[in-house]
């Protein structure tokens, strides 16, 4: 039972870290990344459709994305959706694909991205602490089924696991911050 609590906490922490990494990939660090367009929705036949479900997104060079819709009739819709997505991008149609050049980041914009990365890191830490709280509650309910020493050891292990997870979050955010500030 005590091992189940630890395993569940470890699984929760792993999911939280993955979520943080996904959020951080959306932050532009000066290089093109297809996940930048992940939240863009195209009004495709009256249905808001994720751009990745209707087009091929590729990175031909460091500061350029190309989007090639499978339906050539949707090319203007894709261009319009990217333009209106409030990402600061200015797409242009070139034959049967949309070119999306990424403008260089200003110092002010880089600092905004760093603040956003730290905010995502804090949200991740809050989620980890919530997992710790849930694990501690589960351990408290086991007090009649296991010895007090075993429960105390399990609680100590939970605290160590959470402390390591928080250090990992700090490392992930620091790496992204370095990546964003690199010119």
Least confident window among 64-73, 142-151, 166-175: 142-151
Do 97 and 114 have their domain in common? no
H or E element at residue 64 = strand 64-69
Q: Compute the average pLDDT of residues 38-67.
A: 88
Residues 87 and 42 occupy one common structural domain: yes
Contact 2, 146 (CB under 8 A): yes
36-40, 46-50, 74-78: segment of lowest average pLDDT = 36-40
On the question of pLDDT at 84 being above 70, the answer is yes
Same domain, 97 and 156: no
Q: Which of 101, 124, 157 is the last residue of a domain?
A: 101
81: domain range? 34-101
Q: CATH number for the domain including 143?
A: 1.10.132.20
The CATH number of whichever domain residue 51 belongs to comes to: 3.30.1360.40
Among residues 83, 101, 119, which one ends one of the domains? 101
Overall size of the chain counted in residues: 183
What phi, psi does 103 have (nearest 5°)? -70, 150
Asked if residue 87 and residue 67 are part of one domain, the reply reads yes
Residues 60 and 113 in one domain: no
């Amino acid at each position: 039972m005590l091992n189940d609590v630890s395993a569940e906490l470890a699984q929760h922490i792993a999911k939280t870290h993955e979520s943080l990494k996904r959020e951080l990939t959306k932050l532009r660090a000066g290089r093109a990344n297809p996940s930048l367009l992940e939240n863009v929705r195209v009004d495709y036949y009256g249905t808001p459709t994720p751009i990745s479900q209707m087009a091929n997104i590729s990175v031909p060079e460091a500061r350029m994305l190309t989007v090639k819709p499978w339906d050539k009739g949707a090319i203007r819709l894709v261009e319009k959706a990217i333009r209106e997505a409030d990402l600061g991008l200015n797409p242009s149609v070139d034959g049967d694909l949309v070119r999306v050049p990424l403008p260089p980041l200003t110092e002010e914009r880089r600092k905004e991205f760093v603040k956003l990365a730290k905010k995502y890191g804090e949200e991740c830490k809050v989620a980890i602490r919530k997992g710790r709280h849930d694990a501690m509650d589960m351990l408290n309910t086991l007090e009649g089924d296991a010895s007090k020493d075993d429960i105390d050891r399990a609680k100590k292990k939970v605290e160590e696991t959470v402390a390591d997870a928080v250090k990992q979050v700090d490392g992930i955010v620091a790496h992204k911050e370095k990546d964003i500030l690199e010119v």
